[in-house]
Amino acid sequence: MRKLSPIFLALLVPFALSAQQPADTTRPAPPPPVPTTTVSVPVDFSGVLYANFQYRGDKGTAKSTNKFDLERAYLTFRMPAGDRASIRITADVFQQTTAPQDAFYRGWVIRAKYAYLQYDLIKSPTWNANIRGGLLHNVVIDHIEQFWPRWVSQTPVERAGFFSSADAGVAATLTFPNKLGEIYATIVNGPGYTSRETDRFKDYAARLTLTPLSSWDNKVLKTFALSGWTYAGAVGSQFVNGGAGQVGTVGISMPRTRAGVFAGLRDPRFTAGAEWDTRKDASGTGRLIAGFATIKPFQLINDKSTFPLGLIGRWDRFKPNTSNDGYINTVIGGLTLDLNKKSAISLDYQEQTPHSGAVIAATKTYFLHLVANF
């Protein structure tokens, strides 16, 4: 065997000695790694999509006009904002058709429909109460939309132009125990969520809804709701800053009041509603009478049936001014088909006809509507 060289032995000795030395216990052990914490913010996201294909069947230059249309897409975000508080923001995706904005861009844009903070004053198994501030629901339109399918058409009150479905202001809700109803009251600017405030006057509104049959065993009748509502508003004069032929400024307001009564049933198999409404403006007093129903006959006859075919019908009569004979009739009728629990289509016909000198264009339109909730 060859002898190890002296140089190799000299290099090997320090490594051997270091291996025999005990571990140094005087030094503190390094701290364990700190785990990274992730903050989870609960966000409740939901939405609904309204789309349709429409074909004009009335006579004249509009005959055979047709288009595919994305009418609306609502995107809703809900988040807690501390103890007893929460926020809701609903983005409204719509097509720009208002002049002069559509001269620049005629596509789909986004605006805020609802954006408010809610604070729960009372949360209990019996009474509940909250207050809201921001862009919030108007007094009755959202309530009627719980009965009438908004994806087919606007509610009668909104279609007749009584007021916007949302506005900026404050609101309060008081819910009765045992599902007996609620009180909802608002103070809002007045012009609606599509406009800024245009005068110094505010609009005050309140709705009382009673559900006296909520304890009944009948699944349809127990949903009966009776609502009365009032809306006391005002509009600034167009001569608030004076004008041609005016001696001075006009600081008083013009009337903008509305009121109505609504009764309805709400069941997945059968929904119906009827309403009587009145409005008063500087130009006169108007009146609206409307009724509608949606029915799924196979499911109504047999509780175990899942056949998704439904029927829909509605009739409105709006008299813009009770001092003359003119009135406008609106008729809607068609078939609905549920694609699943969150999506549906409808094939419907909608007609709007003026009578006795009412100034409005007559329309007859065939629709294929689509709604998707997500």
Helix (H, G, I), strand (E, B) or coil at 14: helix
Q: Is pLDDT of 218 > 60?
A: yes
Q: How confident is the model at residue 236 (pLDDT cuts 50, 70, 90)?
A: confident
Contacts 24+ apart (CB under 8 A), 72-76: 72/48, 73/47, 73/48, 73/49, 74/47, 74/48, 74/113, 75/45, 75/47, 76/45, 76/46, 76/47, 76/114
Helix (H, G, I), strand (E, B) or coil at 338: strand
Length of the chain (residues): 374
Helix and strand numbers (H, E) in the chain are 5, 16
pTM of the model: 0.85
CA distances from 367 to 111, 151, 168, 202, 335 (A): 26, 11, 33, 38, 11
* Domains identified in the chain and CATH numbers: 57-236+253-373 (2.40.160.10)
- pLDDT tens digits for 244-303? 655 556 567 789 999 999 999 999 999 999 999 999 998 899 999 999 999 999 999 998
Q: What is the mean pLDDT of residues 164-188?
A: 98
User: Which position has the token pair 């009668």?
Assistant: 156
User: What is the token pair recorded at 205?
Assistant: 């509104």
85 strand-pairing partners: 119
| DSSP letter for each residue of 106-148 | -SEEEEEEEEEEEEEEEESSS-EEEEEEEEEE-SSHHHHTTTS
- Integer Cα distance of 324 and 258 in angstroms: 19
Q: What is the mean pLDDT of residues 338-362?
A: 97
Degrees, nearest 5: CA angle 72-172-183: 95
- Provide the pLDDT for residue 1: 44
- pLDDT tens digits for 68-123? 999 999 999 999 999 999 999 999 999 998 888 888 899 999 999 999 999 999 99
- Provide the pLDDT for residue 29: 66
**Closest C-alpha to 118, from 170, 67, 185, 61:** 170
- Integer Cα distance of 207 and 229 in angstroms: 4
User: What is the token pair recorded at 185?
Assistant: 């009251």
